[in-house]
Structure 1
Amino acid sequence: MAWMTDGGPVAGLLLAAGGGRRLGGRPKALLEFRGGLLVEHAVRVLREGGCATVYVVVGAGAAEVRARLGAGDAVLVDNPDWALGMGTSLRAGLASPATATDPATAVLVTLVDQPRVGAEAVARVLDAHRAGARLAAATYGGERGHPVLLAREHWAGAARAADGDMGARAYLRQHAAAVRLVECADVASPDDVDTPDDLGLLR
């Protein structure tokens, strides 16, 4: 069941548009993981962690992702500029609930290439929002990572600040005093699947 905060649910926002350049051009969303695709796993994590509607930003391999995610699993958001970096995916993703008839009061942002960030980390960051945080982020040994939560009033600013592969990092740095940090190292790990050497994370 989705957490209800300020009268509305929290939407999940999964950034899954990358082309996997350092993986030899294999889109990360389409990597096999636990009998399915990494993107399917990441959507399930957001739902099990407490998100309501899940938005998935797609780019490389978009047709294959659409074919695998069934109707109702997620709202797919096309990012034709995905090759320009993660910032473009964050902007596309934040625009979707803002322009749709979605009552979400916040979005929780995750990355498709972090298979060891699970539902427990999602739930912890959502709990921080439920306790009043308008900006929140998971930390791992004190280092900020994902999931990241942005209340609705921060969407426009975070979208403007998103550049290249920075995502929301610059915006969170600008508003560091307002960010609730949620330690998650005991339940999750932020390791990324970036290169062939990282494929062991999927086993």
Structure 2
Amino acid sequence: MKSRPAVVVLAAGRGSRFRGLHHKLMQGLGASTVLATTLSNALATQLPVLVVTTEPLAELVSHHVATRDVVVLPSVGSPESQALGMGYSIAAGVAARSDASGWLILPADMPMVRTSTLLTVAREIDSHAIAYAQHRGLRGHPVGFAAELYSELVMLTGDDGARRLVARYPAHGVEIDDPGVLLDVDTEDDLARVRVAQQETQFREAR
């Protein structure tokens, strides 16, 4: 049976720019939360999904995915986590799904990325080493990597994530009519914008 790309959801950041009482991924979004909505969209692809997170969020993540599909990293701020950054989260997720035919990197704070968008980018890494979603010419997420980049992905560290790889190799932009590829939740203002976007989407779908 041919292997499929895996969706690697990054949920290990501290979210320090968000000033709410709770972690940004725990914030309400409609009848759900930011994290749960992102995971729901990822799981709906029926592709393998792996979540990279930290101990404080591990229990929340476990409500949505099986334990075998979660990688728990040292908590941000602990001695073990110093200098790891987003790059290490990507490396850990890719290593945990080494048998996949590629990997779609999706930050957990991007709940408006549609399931169809994930599937579109997944198809593109059949013919491109790197593919990413873009909306109106602006680069967004997910970013997909083909299996040929495995050895470089698992060596990533630091806060630059996979930017150096994207700069080093030809990256194919996939124009998609999905503004959610540009919407993340870093601040309370961002959360307000995402909530409005969700309401507008629900209104259109109900018409």
- Tell me the TM-score normalized by structure 1: 0.80
Structure 2 counterpart of 1:187, which letter?
A: D
Alignment-derived partner of residue 10 in structure 2: 15
Contact 1:15 1:58 in 2 (8 A): yes
Alignment-derived partner of residue 174 in structure 1: 168
Alignment-derived partner of residue 193 in structure 2: 201
CA-to-aligned-CA distance 1:22-71 (integer Å, 9 cap, x gap): 113733332222322222211221232x3521000111632432442253
| Contiguous gaps of at least 5 residues in structure 2 | 78-82, 196-207
- Tell me the TM-score normalized by structure 2: 0.79
Q: Go from structure 1 to structure 2 and tell me whether the alpha carbon gap of 1:61 and 1:35 turns closer, same or farther (over 3 Å shift).
A: farther
CA-to-aligned-CA distance 1:130-160 (integer Å, 9 cap, x gap): 4x22321111222322111111221221333
Q: Go from structure 1 to structure 2 and tell me whether the alpha carbon gap of 1:145 and 1:187 turns closer, same or farther (over 3 Å shift).
A: closer
Q: CA RMSD in A?
A: 2.3
CA distance in 2, matches of 1:81, 1:170: 25
CA distance in 1, matches of 2:76, 2:52: 9
For 1:69, what is the secondary structure of its paired residue?
coil
Structure 2 counterpart of 1:183, which letter?
A: E
For 1:147, what is the secondary structure of its paired residue?
strand
Q: Which has the larger radius of gyration?
A: 2
Q: Go from structure 1 to structure 2 and tell me whether the alpha carbon gap of 1:66 and 1:123 turns closer, same or farther (over 3 Å shift).
A: closer
CA-to-aligned-CA distance 1:112-143 (integer Å, 9 cap, x gap): 1112211121122122124x223211112223
| Contiguous gaps of at least 5 residues in structure 1 | none
Alignment-derived partner of residue 89 in structure 1: 89
Alignment-derived partner of residue 27 in structure 1: 23
- Percent identity, please: 29
Structure 2 counterpart of 1:87, which letter?
A: G
Q: Go from structure 1 to structure 2 and tell me whether the alpha carbon gap of 1:82 and 1:94 turns closer, same or farther (over 3 Å shift).
A: farther
CA distance in 2, matches of 1:196, 1:62: 19
CA distance in 2, matches of 1:60, 1:144: 31
Question: Which of 143, 146, 154 lines up with 2:149 in the alignment?
Answer: 154
CA distance in 1, matches of 2:29, 2:19: 18
Q: Go from structure 1 to structure 2 and tell me whether the alpha carbon gap of 1:39 and 1:133 turns closer, same or farther (over 3 Å shift).
A: same
The equivalences for 1:35-184 within 5 A come to 35-48=31-44, 50-59=45-54, 61-71=56-66, 75-80=69-74, 82-83=76-77, 84=83, 85-98=85-98, 103-130=99-126, 132-164=127-159, 166-175=160-169, 177=170, 179-184=171-176
